[in-house]
């Protein structure tokens, strides 16, 4: 019998209860590079993966309107596969970056965020979005996000959005956003090998009961392109001890970093999906956790 997402435990994103092991939709649209350079994915297989994820207990899906390839849109695949949506399904999206039909990137002004939110609503076939993350550009790592986050807060007040989060953020961003409106989640790159300041930010989120949602927990420095490096012998030896894959060990370690930590591994491969879900039942020892943290 297959392991289900319930094995990872639950957490609340605002007032929405989710299983801590979710699904990221970025890799549904194509094979190879994440944005624009890969081969369009097989539509039927992508739809089957989404339905299989929900069958395995996934009730938290991360997506974005800018997740598209030449022939595929992640949001529209989600709509086709899962609508009418299960009552407990939480769909999280993100705005500020965008891509035009040619795939070129652009960044929205505060006034343009409404259009990005409405595009997500249209593609997903919904009248409101469960969670919208403000995805902060690298150029704002030390700058203010008040205007953009304030614009999202107004859209929440208007009923288009239920809850707000921030992505690619710093502790200063969290403090600034919290002064404007409640932040229910922080979505940042994180995993085995993360720097000390990332560990500290994770703890800060836990102290505030804010969900910490790592992306690239498996890919690491490979980021959008996926894992591109050989795993450290420590990861390999722990994987052998648990009869698991290195990717499963990375996911298990991430989930054990705190009860408020979620995971959103993405894949277009049904076998990889099952393996990712199974990682939610792995339990690493204190010694194994310390060994992995030291990498």
What is the pLDDT, as a whole number, of residue 223? 47
Tell whether 10 is covered by a domain. no
Task: Provide the number of structural domains found in the chain.
Answer: 1
CATH number of the structural domain spanning residue 101 = 3.20.20.100
What is the pLDDT, as a whole number, of residue 34? 62
The answer to whether 271 and 56 are in contact (CB under 8 A) is no
What is the pLDDT, as a whole number, of residue 230? 66
Per-residue pLDDT reduced to its tens digit, 34-68: 665 678 889 999 999 999 999 999 999 999 999 99
Backbone angles phi, psi at 120, to 5 degrees: -60, -40
Tell whether 212 is covered by a domain. yes
CA atoms of 1 and 23, how far apart (whole Å): 20
Q: What percent of the chain has pLDDT over 70?
A: 94
Tell whether 129 is covered by a domain. yes
Higher per-residue pLDDT: 32 or 26: 26
Q: What percent of the chain has pLDDT over 90?
A: 88
Nearest Cα residue to 274 out of 250, 245, 236, 254: 245
Tell whether 8 is covered by a domain. no
CA angle 185, 291, 271 (to 5 degrees): 60
**pLDDT exceeds cutoff 70 at 113:** yes
Average pLDDT of the segment spanning 3-12:
97
CA atoms of 66 and 62, how far apart (whole Å): 12
CA distances from 203 to 133, 192, 194, 197, 247 (A): 20, 16, 13, 10, 23
Tell whether 3 is covered by a domain. no
**pLDDT exceeds cutoff 60 at 111:** yes
**pLDDT exceeds cutoff 90 at 31:** no
**pLDDT exceeds cutoff 50 at 259:** yes
For 150, the domain range is 19-293
> DSSP state, 275?
H
Tell whether 59 is covered by a domain. yes
Tell whether 41 is covered by a domain. yes
Single pTM value for the model: 0.95
The answer to whether 9 and 258 are in contact (CB under 8 A) is no
Per-residue pLDDT reduced to its tens digit, 192-249: 999 999 999 999 999 999 999 999 899 654 444 445 456 899 999 999 999 999 999 9
**pLDDT exceeds cutoff 80 at 125:** yes
Low-confidence winner among 22-36, 189-203, 275-289 (lowest mean pLDDT): 22-36
Specify whether 85 is catalytic.
Answer: no
Q: Which residue in 31, 67, 85, 190 is the catalytic one?
A: 67
What is the pLDDT, as a whole number, of residue 2? 83
């Amino acid at each position: 019998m297959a392991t289900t997402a319930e094995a990872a435990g639950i957490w609340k994103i605002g007032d929405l209860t989710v299983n801590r092991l979710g699904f990221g939709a970025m890799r549904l649209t194509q094979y190879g590079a994440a944005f624009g350079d890969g081969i369009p994915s097989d539509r039927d297989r992508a739809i089957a993966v989404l339905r299989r994820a929900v069958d395995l207990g996934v009730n938290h899906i991360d997506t974005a309107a800018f997740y598209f390839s030449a022939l595929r849109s992640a949001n529209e695949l989600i709509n086709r596969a899962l609508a009418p949506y299960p009552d407990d399904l939480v769909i999280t999206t993100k705005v500020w970056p965008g891509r035009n039909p040619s795939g070129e990137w652009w960044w929205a002004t505060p006034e343009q965020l409404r259009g990005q939110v409405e595009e997500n609503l249209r593609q997903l076939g919904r009248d409101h979005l469960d969670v919208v993350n403000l995805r902060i550009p690298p150029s704002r790592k030390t700058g203010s996000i008040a205007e953009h986050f304030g614009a999202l807060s107004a859209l929440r007040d208007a009923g288009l959005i239920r809850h707000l989060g921030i992505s690619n953020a710093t502790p200063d961003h969290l403090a600034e956003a919290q002064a404007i409106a409640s932040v229910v989640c922080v979505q940042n790159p994180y995993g085995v090998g993360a720097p000390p300041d990332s560990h500290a930010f994770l703890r800060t989120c836990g102290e505030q009961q804010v969900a910490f949602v790592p992306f690239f927990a498996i890919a690491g420095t490979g980021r959008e392109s996926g894992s591109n490096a050989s795993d450290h012998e420590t990861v390999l030896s722990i994987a052998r001890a648990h009869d698991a894959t290195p990717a499963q060990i990375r996911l298990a370690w991430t989930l054990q970093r705190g009860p408020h930590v979620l995971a959103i591994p993405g894949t277009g491969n049904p076998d990889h999906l099952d393996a990712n879900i199974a990682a939610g039942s792995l339990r690493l020892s204190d010694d194994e956790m310390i060994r992995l943290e030291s990498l």
